[in-house]
Amino acid sequence: MLTHLTSVSMILGNGVPDVPAPPPPRALALDLRPVLDPRDFQNKWSQLALSFSQECSLTPQGAASLMNHQSLIRHMQNNYIQCVASGGQPPNHKFFFYGQKAGAAAFYSLRSELLVTKMDVSTTKIHLDTFISRTSNSERREYLVECIVNPASSKAQLKIKADDGATAEAFSTLFQSVLSEFGLS
């Protein structure tokens, strides 16, 4: 439906007003349900080299929103980036986030044991134990982030580590985009 001003604009030859373009598709798709154990996060963090380090500015609204840590954590989770730990003392709040590249799901192995007890001709009991455990997958790509936020100075420091250097920059861009939606400029 055209508004009165749009109709006048078209009659005068100015054409249809510009419509904002939809945001470009994200260059990197993240796993919808990333899983990373806190111990595995810590081990990977100590092993991986730093991919990106940057300081960002907070908008006043973003700084005010950080009075409740859960608001940032929920925002990141809604964008498929999980928080493995958070805390700190004012003025600094520290968050450890991670994401996993989509299509690189975890694989599980199945191990069964067949145990025969009481080998008696009249009675034989068979006990079957089944274990399902997560196995390492060299195709899984994980991105780890340390985010230190100082609401008083309206600054956030980001350190990003990735086990896939080819997509580390794309993840950094995606992470900063998600943060900018929360209130980082």
What CATH code is carried by the domain that includes residue 148? Answer: 3.30.310.10
Span 45-75, pLDDT tens digits: 999 999 999 998 888 888 778 777 898 999 9
**What average pLDDT does this structure show over 151-167?**
91
pLDDT at 31 over 80: yes
- DSSP annotation string for 90-148: TT-EEEEEEEEBTT---EEEEEEEEEEES--SS--EEEEEEEEEEE--TT--EEEEEEE
Q: Examine residue 113 and state whether it is found in any structural domain, yes or no.
A: no
Q: Examine residue 123 and state whether it is found in any structural domain, yes or no.
A: no
Q: Examine residue 85 and state whether it is found in any structural domain, yes or no.
A: yes
Q: Sorting pLDDT into bands at 50, 70 and 90, what band is 91? A: confident
Position with higher pLDDT, 9 vs 112:
112
Q: Sorting pLDDT into bands at 50, 70 and 90, what band is 26? A: low
Q: Examine residue 1 and state whether it is found in any structural domain, yes or no.
A: no
Structure tokens at 136: 């390492």
Q: Examine residue 64 and state whether it is found in any structural domain, yes or no.
A: yes
Q: What is the pTM of this model?
A: 0.67
Q: Sorting pLDDT into bands at 50, 70 and 90, what band is 170? A: very high
Structural domains in the chain (count): 1
